[in-house]
Amino acid sequence: MNLDHLNKEQREAVQYTEGPLLILAGAGSGKTQTMTHRIAYLIEEGVRPYNILAVTFTNKAAGEMRDRVEKLVGVCPGMWIMTFHAMSLRMLREYPDKVGYTKSFVVYDTVDQKAVLKNIYKERNIDSKDYPYPLLSSIISKCKERDWDPEKFKEMEMDTPTSRVYYKVYKDYEAALKKNNAMDFDDLLLKAYHLLRDNPDILDDYRRRFRYIMVDEYQDTNRIQYELIHLLAMQHRNLCVVGDDDQCIYQWRGADIRNILDFEKDFKGAKVVKLEQNYRSFKNILACANSVIKNNRDRKSKKLWTDKEEGDLVIYNRLDSDKEEAAYVAQEIRFLSQLGRSYDDFAVLYRTNAQSRLFEDALKRSRIPYQILSGFSFYERKETKDMISYMRLVVNPRDDIALERIINEPKRGIGPTTLAKYRALAQVRGMSIFECLLEDETLDSFNKKARESLKSMLDVIRECIDERENLRVSDIYDNLLVKTGYLGALEAQNTQEAESRIENLLDFKSYIYDYEKEKEDAGEEATLDEFLERVSTQSDTDNYDEADGKVTLMTLHSAKGLEFPVVFMPGMEDGLFPSFRSMDTEEGIEEERRLCYVGMTRAREKLILTSAQYRVTYGHGDFARESMFISEIDPKLLDVIGNSYVNKKSGDRLGLGLGTLDGFAKSPVSPFGGYGDEQPSHYDPLRFARQQVKKTAGTESFEIGDNVTHGKFGHGIVVDATPTTVTVIFDDFGTKKLAIGMAPLKKV
């Protein structure tokens, strides 16, 4: 095989076939080419394809690897190139009886899992509001990842009422799977590990077969995957693992960076080959990424380099606000596209999904087509559309489409059959479904749980309708979000997906706040009707011209494995990137730094970093300090624009400025009524936003003579108070009678 087109290190990795091998493959260093040539080289050297096992993380990667190998050496019958789960499934199909199953066992997906949990909840009379299905699924998955059966979980966890419920559900869940001759996806890995661990003869058979093993993306393996590979490889020790500890960004999903960092300890005498030549990015981009990642302590020493040209300096622009940041990105894309670049040359990589909204808005205003990769447009996300439907009902209670969307969001025990029955009843009576449900006889026909939940929802909507003239749009939103149980249901799930949805919901509050501020500055009243009209207009993406491609918007996590000529990385601020949650631990900061490195190395020709001095995060505006990652970049690599504290020539930080104070400056205006509250040092904006939303939708008692402020009417004095209402004389709006628990009133 001609290997002349490979560089020295790639050839070394390809030709080193006997013994343990760690290939540290930096970003853009030709990892896939090296792996496929190594497999092909083994076959040319006389190794039977039957004796080769190559494991990847995605079906796409496995298919691409097999195609490239077969282009080099022809069809390879018997060779296993597949994902961890596919490998495990194939082993279990061969020996199902050894793990207590028959050959016809089925594999349950997440929908099947939820159905099993529903049955268990029903039998044990467990309320899914108290113990959401996603939470239990996550707990069970983590247990299996640790190789904890229900009894081990009981032994390891503290004995509390909550943990006892988890134990019972987990135990019932396992019994139900066994009864149904079923496994879930976590079982595939766990049962395969048990199969090999507990059956030495079967393990020996697989060891004799798989004399040469390769594992891609080794830094992303979890504990069970690690144990599986080690069982298979310990005899012949011809294990080649490929990965990059600097690109380990999935620890929150179970990946264990120690697997790659400790490889040389696990396999004494292992050879290490570093693929440091990058074929993707210009020199300045690589130098920028290297200057950041070198600050991680827990990493293998390496430094990417390239023989490509220097390229432009990395642009860093410190904008006055998050809106100006989004406008700048759109403006640069428009300018560069006029110089001949296609729109699909550009990617905007952000830390959180909630950041996408401002960029979507800015691109729409500039008539630039875009796509959201690995996610929905901000305005098309389920949680956003759910809350818009709630708000539509306040404007128009006869909107049956809106009601049908949210009547069981969050879950209220009202299924499609029940809904169809009341839809027909409303039609016969010539009423809307909402009006029909308000009648006592209709509500009484539901079971107790559904009736109470439904009545609570109807009461909140009705209160918002009655008090609409006394409430800002943001007040209505807060009340609907909290009092319908929507926010609480997501919080109870305690999953990464639910957390992302909460971020989106709180960022939608930022959008409402922007609308209210815009109307206030124009001396006009912000109304719910007009706001909903604006949202429906924002959602219209039918007029895009797709002829010249589209700008890609995506999270940094989703961008791994991709590359683009021009990359924008906005939101380079402490608290956003790195995130507040990560800043509590060194491990958290290091994972965020790896994510920053991954983002930077997606860029081929041009990298543009931005930050905002003032950002509205989850509805609350505050001054933001520049990301610590900006200060780690060699200033000579940066073309600094705007009011940055980085001096490009000297590398010094120029003073402290508002953005680097220990605490956060007062917001000049707060969407939660009156003036901004001073925040403690290092406060978590997401937690703070939740507290403020709940406070707006909470209840407070008032007495005659209290000085109060109202979000819409300003300062006033309480002249009458009952358990349900409060009457206030406002300085500028006269006397108003307001509902307790609904009005955004604060004591002064």
Q: Could you tell me the two tokens for 405?
A: 């969307």
231: DSSP letter: H
How many C-beta atoms lie closer than 10 Å to residue 228's C-beta? 24
CA distance 346 to 339: 13
- The catalytic residue among 145, 184, 187, 216 is 216
Angstrom CA distances, 509 to 304, 500, 504, 547, stand at 42, 15, 9, 34
CA distance 140 to 174: 10
> Is residue 113 among the annotated active site residues?
no
Instruction: Give the type of residue at 438.
Output: L
**Angle at CA 623, nearest 5°, toward 626 and 347?**
50
- Residue 415 burial by CB count (10 A; 0-12/13-18/19+): exposed, middle or buried? exposed
109: DSSP letter: -
Residue 128, classed as helix, strand or coil, is coil
Instruction: Give the type of residue at 10.
Output: Q
**Angle at CA 717, nearest 5°, toward 713 and 718?**
105
> Is residue 217 among the annotated active site residues?
yes
Instruction: Report whether 728 contacts 708 (CB < 8 A).
Output: yes
- The catalytic residue among 174, 184, 187, 217 is 217
3-state secondary structure 45-73: CCCCHHHEEEEECCHHHHHHHHHHHHHHH
Name the β-bridge partners of 272: 22
> Is residue 412 among the annotated active site residues?
no
Where is 453: in which H helix or E strand? helix 448-466
Instruction: Report whether 439 contacts 471 (CB < 8 A).
Output: no
Among residues 416, 392, 388, which one has the least CA distance to residue 486?
A: 388
Whole-angstrom Cα Rg for the chain: 29
275: DSSP letter: E
- The catalytic residue among 15, 17, 32, 371 is 32
3-state secondary structure 247-303: HCCCHHHCCCCHHHHCHHHHCCCCEEEEECECCCCCHHHHHHHHHHHCCCCCCCCCC
Q: Could you tell me the two tokens for 142?
A: 């983590």
How many C-beta atoms lie closer than 10 Å to residue 297's C-beta? 7
Name the β-bridge partners of 553: 348, 372
680: DSSP letter: P
Instruction: Give the type of residue at 308.
Output: K
Where is 200: in which H helix or E strand? helix 200-209
Instruction: Give the type of residue at 398.
Output: R
Query: Alpha helices, DSSP H only, in 641-739?
Result: 685-696
- The catalytic residue among 31, 191, 364, 550 is 31
Angstrom CA distances, 201 to 83, 88, 193, 274, 418, stand at 24, 17, 14, 37, 56
> Is residue 31 among the annotated active site residues?
yes
Angstrom CA distances, 743 to 65, 461, 515, 542, 739, stand at 61, 14, 20, 39, 6
DSSP-derived pairing of the beta strands 714-721 and 707-710: antiparallel
- The catalytic residue among 38, 280, 501, 602 is 602
How many C-beta atoms lie closer than 10 Å to residue 478's C-beta? 27
> Is residue 468 among the annotated active site residues?
no
- The catalytic residue among 10, 113, 247, 601 is 247
DSSP-derived pairing of the beta strands 314-321 and 212-215: unpaired
Backbone angles phi, psi at 720, to 5 degrees: -160, 145
665: DSSP letter: P
> Is residue 122 among the annotated active site residues?
no
Angstrom CA distances, 4 to 7, 24, 34, 275, stand at 8, 21, 12, 16
| Dihedral sign for Cα atoms in the order 491, 497, 501, 502 | positive
Residues belonging to the active site: 31-32, 216-217, 247, 602
